[in-house]
Amino acid sequence: MDSSFSKRADASGLIRRGEGPLNLEMPFSALDSFVTPNEQFYVRCHFPIPAIDPDSWRLTVEGAVANRLSLGLKELRALPDQTMMATMECAGNGRSFLEPKVKGVAWDLGAVGNASWTGVLLSDVLERAGVPAGATEVVLEGADKGEIKEAPRPPGEIHYARSLPIEKARNDVLLAFAMNGEPLSPSHGFPLRAVVPGWFGMAAVKWLTRIVVTERAFAGYYQTIDYTYWEENAGSPTLVPLQEMRVKAQIAQPVVGEVIARGTAYRVHGAAWAGEAGLEKIELSIDGGKKWQSPRLLGSAVRNAWRLWEFDWNVPALPDRCTLIARASDAEGRTQPAQRATGYGTYMVNQWLRVEVEIR
């Protein structure tokens, strides 16, 4: 195996999961701040990063609109701006824990981050374009493109594109030009990307160049082939596009296989987040899921952002093995399941993740 795919972080602090296209993961055990520093924020690309000249870059808004728009960066920035926190998780985060092993980027826990995003509301742009009553979806397309190599594959090159239901597009979607107060970097979508609060990362289209308002469901590759799952629908599974993040808690420390000194005090800590419903509860078990305790929540609740938590563990006095599990519940009463839901394919890994440690 190529040594660059090791679990060790490189000088930038990120773990390389692929070179062409670039995929980088944060070592989740290094979690130590509510806001993920830009250099530590995971990177997920399907195609080479497009080189974009900010002076000639335009965003077009077309399709079922009253006024077709072509906006440069200056015009976009003239709209009222807004800054919001949002946690973004790749739908494939945690894939490396699936048994049997599956295809796809083998993310551990670090394809997730929390940032403050500044930009303009997609709803303000749509307002200017004039959206007819019959519009149902908004397609977001990036400047990046390439060929899909696995069947079923579309002919020729395609752009990365995803659609949003018109209600979500009009609600809280941001077209961001800054991340944690800095201009977006090329790997995170310079000069403009979508931020879709509560949804998995695949919706947050980077290097945005085209917005198409449509009156029927978009059937692009990343909408109907990739980034889909089977949903139970009156007894008959139907393939639907991934949307909202599933409620999830992750343990940053200890890590799987860690050796912990017996009779000591150990700080167990991590983060938890949810989809649009918001996070309600975080629980921790140190006995493999029999008893659950409440960790201390850090900071205050911030809409659409993860919550850091910690727990002071009095490590048993005798040598032993312990299995730690963190689980969370959202405000609609959904709790992380012990077992994986069927139909999720290689996505939405939110079943209990067991962290077995050795006490010595």
Q: Which residues of this chain interact with Mo ion, rule CB under 5 A?
A: 44, 90, 201-202
Select from 117, 160, 199, 266 the one that contacts ligand MTE (CB under 6 A): 160
Q: What is the smallest separation between the CB atom of 86 and ligand MTE, expressed in angstroms?
A: 11
Task: Give the interface segment with ligand MTE, choosing from 39-47, 276-284, 303-311, 322-330 (CB under 6 A).
Answer: 39-47
Segment lying near ligand MTE (by CB under 6 A), choices 42-50, 121-129, 229-237, 296-304: 42-50
Please give the structure tokens belonging to residue 48. 């080479």
Residue 258, burial from CB neighbour count under 10 angstroms (0-12, 13-18, 19+): middle
Residue 44 or 246: the one with the smaller Cβ distance to ligand MTE is 44
Q: Is 212 in the site for ligand MTE (CB under 6 A)?
A: no
Q: Give 43's strand partners.
A: 24
User: Considering the complex, what minimum distance in angstroms separates the CB of residue 87 from Mo ion?
Assistant: 13
Given 95, 206, 269, 327, the residue binding ligand MTE (CB under 6 A):
206
**Least distance from C-beta 102 to ligand MTE, angstroms?**
16
Amino acid sitting at position 209: T
Between the CA of residue 42 and those of 15, 87, 108, 237, what are the distances in Å?
9, 12, 11, 32
3-state secondary structure 186-205: HHHCCCCEEECCCECHHHCC
Question: In angstroms, what is the minimal distance from the CB of 262 to ligand MTE?
Answer: 39
- Cα–Cα distance, 322 to 261 (Å, whole number): 12
- Does the footprint of ligand MTE cover residue 144 (CB under 6 A)? yes
Q: Please check whether residue 276 is in contact with residue 173, taking contact to mean a CB–CB distance below 8 angstroms.
A: no
- Residue 107 C-beta: closest distance to Mo ion, Å: 9
Q: What's the closest the beta carbon of residue 234 comes to ligand MTE, in angstroms?
A: 30
The torsion region of residue 258 among left (phi > 0), alpha (psi -120 to 50) and beta comes to: beta
CA pair distance 335, 297, nearest whole angstrom: 17
Residues 104-143 that bind ligand MTE (CB under 6 A): 142
Do 93 and 26 touch, CB atoms closer than 8 A? no
Q: Which does residue 273 touch among Mo ion, ligand MTE, none (CB within 5 to 8 A, set by kind)? A: none
Per-position x/- string for 175-204, each x denoting binding to ligand MTE as judged by CB under 6 A, each - no binding: -------------x------------xx-x
In the bound complex, what is the minimum distance in angstroms from residue 174's beta carbon to ligand MTE?
A: 13
Q: Is there a contact between 150 and 161 (Cβ–Cβ < 8 Å)?
A: no
CA distances from 282 to 166, 245, 292, 327, 330 (A): 32, 16, 10, 6, 9
Give the containing element (helix H, strand E) for 228. Answer: strand 228-231
Q: Which is closer to ligand MTE, CB of 111 or CB of 284?
A: 111
Which listed residue (90, 120, 272, 328) binds ligand MTE by CB under 6 A? 90
Answer whether the bond into residue 155 is a cis peptide, omega within 30°.
no
Name which of residues 5 to 34 contact ligand MTE (CB under 6 A). none
Nearest Cα to Cα of residue 310 among 16, 21, 34: 34
Looking at the chain, how many residues does it have?
A: 360
Binding to ligand MTE by residue 84, rule CB under 6 A?
Answer: no
CB of 142 to Mo ion, least distance (A): 13
List interacting residues with ligand MTE (CB under 6 A): 41-46, 90, 142, 144, 160, 188, 201-202, 204-207
